[in-house]
């Protein structure tokens, strides 16, 4: 089913309210049991969307991988990617760790933003004036671009982690709670990059879990 491409309508509304540098922010990796949560911030300097940009969830892995270098090389925008570690997720919870990763991405932009468009609901005590945009990755070019960068960055990290912990299959499922991943947890228990505060992981860490 065809979807309407994202636009700069949300960005233009913020600009009409007096803001000049509007960044779109999105995260990837709230649901997995392992690995970091990543976030990206994209600030378009000119309203020229990268061709083919869309919500990362609507794109194939191949298409995301093709779009990432186009976004990074575009002269019409600046961008940054950041993360929060599994340890930070366990210490803060996934909500606050996602917020932290987004704030780190915004702080890393070479052109500082004065307003943020955040995918989903707004945060309390965020680092910038901002607006939460439900399904923003389908509506805003800035958020959609950020969604691609965050997703590609996190997938790449999980592929690298698979080389260190091949028994879990991270390269295939990227840390999500698939039957294969849950079975690996049952057989091997958690590894250092698992999120110990997530129930399937904490249960797998219990003495005797998975034993016949």
Distance in angstroms (rounded) separating the CA atoms of residues 34 and 140: 29
Q: What is the mean pLDDT of residues 46-64?
A: 95
Cα dihedral 74, 26, 34, 165, rounded to 10, equals 0
Q: Is the pTM of this model over 0.85?
A: yes
Tens digits of per-residue pLDDT, 59-111? 999 999 999 999 999 999 999 999 999 999 999 999 999 999 999 999 999 99
Topology annotation, domain 9-163: Nucleotidyltransferase; domain 5 (3.30.420)
CA dihedral 176, 80, 133, 67 (to 10 degrees): -70
Report how far apart the first and last C-alpha atoms of the chain are (Å, whole number): 47
Question: Which sequence spans correspond to the domains of the chain?
Answer: 9-163, 166-204
Distance CA 61, CA 155 (A): 9
- Please report, for the chain, how many H helices and E strands are present, in that order: 9, 5
pLDDT in tens, 113-166: 999 999 999 998 999 999 999 999 999 999 999 999 999 999 999 999 999 999
Residue 124 to residue 118: CA distance in whole angstroms: 12
CA 134, CA 128: separation in Å to the nearest integer? 18
Q: Return the percentage of the chain with pLDDT > 70, whole number.
A: 96
Tokens representing 188 are 């091997």
Q: Are 152 and 79 in contact, with CB atoms under 8 Å apart?
A: no
Distance from C-alpha of 31 to C-alpha of 145, rounded to nearest angstrom: 20
Residue 47: both structure tokens together: 């309203």
Residue 211 has pLDDT above 60, yes or no: no
Q: In this structure, how many other beta carbons lie within 10 angstroms of the beta carbon of residue 2?
A: 4
Q: Provide the token pair at 73.
A: 């090389």
Quickly list DSSP for 65-98: HHHHHHHHH-TTEEEEEEEE-HHHHHHH-HHHHH
| Whole-number Å distance between alpha carbons of 162 and 142 | 31
């Amino acid at each position: 089913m065809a979807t309407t491409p994202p636009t700069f309508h949300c960005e233009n509304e913020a600009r009409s309210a007096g803001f000049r540098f509007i960044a779109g922010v999105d995260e990837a990796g709230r649901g997995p049991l392992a690995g970091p949560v990543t976030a990206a911030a994209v600030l378009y300097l000119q309203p020229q969307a990268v061709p083919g940009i869309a919500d990362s969830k609507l794109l194939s892995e191949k298409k995301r991988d093709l779009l990432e270098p186009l976004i990074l090389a575009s002269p019409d925008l600046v961008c940054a990617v950041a993360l929060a570690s599994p340890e930070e997720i366990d210490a803060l919870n996934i909500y606050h760790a996602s917020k932290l990763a987004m704030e780190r991405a915004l702080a890393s932009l070479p052109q500082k933003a004065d307003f943020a468009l955040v995918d989903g609901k707004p945060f309390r005590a965020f680092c910038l004036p901002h607006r939460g945009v439900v399904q923003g990755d389908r509506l805003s070019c800035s958020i959609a671009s950020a969604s691609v960068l965050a997703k590609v960055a996190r997938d790449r990290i999980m592929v690298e982690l698979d080389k260190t912990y091949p028994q879990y299959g991270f390269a295939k499922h990227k840390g999500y709670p698939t039957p294969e991943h849950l079975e690996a947890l049952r057989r091997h228990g958690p590894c250092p990059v698992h999120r110990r505060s997530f129930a399937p992981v904490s249960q797998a860490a219990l003495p005797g879990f998975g034993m016949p």
